[in-house]
Amino acid sequence: MLSSAALDAVFSALADPTRRAMLARLAEGEASVGELAAPFAMSQPAVSKHLKVLERAGLIVKTHDAQRRPCRLQIDRLLAAEDWIENYRRIFEANFARLDDLLEELKSGPGWRKDA
């Protein structure tokens, strides 16, 4: 389970559409900074800032090759965020199931009008 600060960093990083697009590209395989920057009309320093946010959040890692430093997706933090969301999905589903049960109980009780 991620700490609250680590989870905050993940969701903060995911809040930006440029960073989400970079992660989508990295889901296809590792890429250089230049390859990640290509689809965006922004400066290299701006791209580097986005990558730094992703790296600090633990969503990517930069590896060392002889000629370049490719980036690679780190799935662990995404899975931890998914687990956090899944926990709340289960809670909401249970609440909706109880609400459905209550509505069915009310429908079958006296005073329920189908035409209302």
What's the predicted TM-score (pTM) here? 0.78
For the four alpha carbons of 1, 72, 48 and 17, in that order, the dihedral sign comes to negative
Would 113 be classed as within a structural domain? no
Would 39 be classed as within a structural domain? yes
Q: Which are the contacts of 58, defined by CB distance < 8 A and separation ≥ 6? A: 6, 9, 10, 74, 76, 77
Given this model, what pLDDT does residue 24 score? 97
Given this model, what pLDDT does residue 105 score? 84
Total domains in the chain come to 1
Would 115 be classed as within a structural domain? no
Given this model, what pLDDT does residue 101 score? 83
Given this model, what pLDDT does residue 42 score? 93
Domain at 11, CATH number:
1.10.10.10
> Averaged in consecutive runs of 10 residues, what is the pLDDT profile of the chain (116 residues)?
92 98 97 93 94 98 84 95 92 88 84 68
Given this model, what pLDDT does residue 113 score? 72
Would 103 be classed as within a structural domain? yes
Given this model, what pLDDT does residue 116 score? 57
What domain range is 61 assigned to? 4-108
For 44-88, where are the E strands, in sequence order? 60-62, 71-73
